Amino acid sequence: TSRDRLTFSGPVVFTDDVKGQMRTMILPLVDSIMEALELHGSSFDISCVNSGAASSADRGMKISGFSADVPAFMALLSAGLALPIRQDMVFTGHIASLDGDIAQVQGLPEKATAAVQDPDITCFAYPSLEADKSMHIHKPVLFENIKAAVHGCRGKLKLIEVTSIADQLEQTLEPEAIVHA
Instruction: Output the CA torsion 64→5→33→36 (10° steps).
Output: -160
* Integer Cα distance of 26 and 19 in angstroms: 10
Give 125's DSSP letter.
E
pTM of the model: 0.87
> Residues 62-104: pLDDT tens digits?
787 889 999 999 999 999 998 888 899 999 999 999 999 999 8
Residue range 141-165, pLDDT digits in tens: 888 888 898 989 999 999 999 999 9
Confidence of residue 53 (pLDDT cuts 50, 70, 90): very low
The Cα 131–Cα 4 span in angstroms is 35
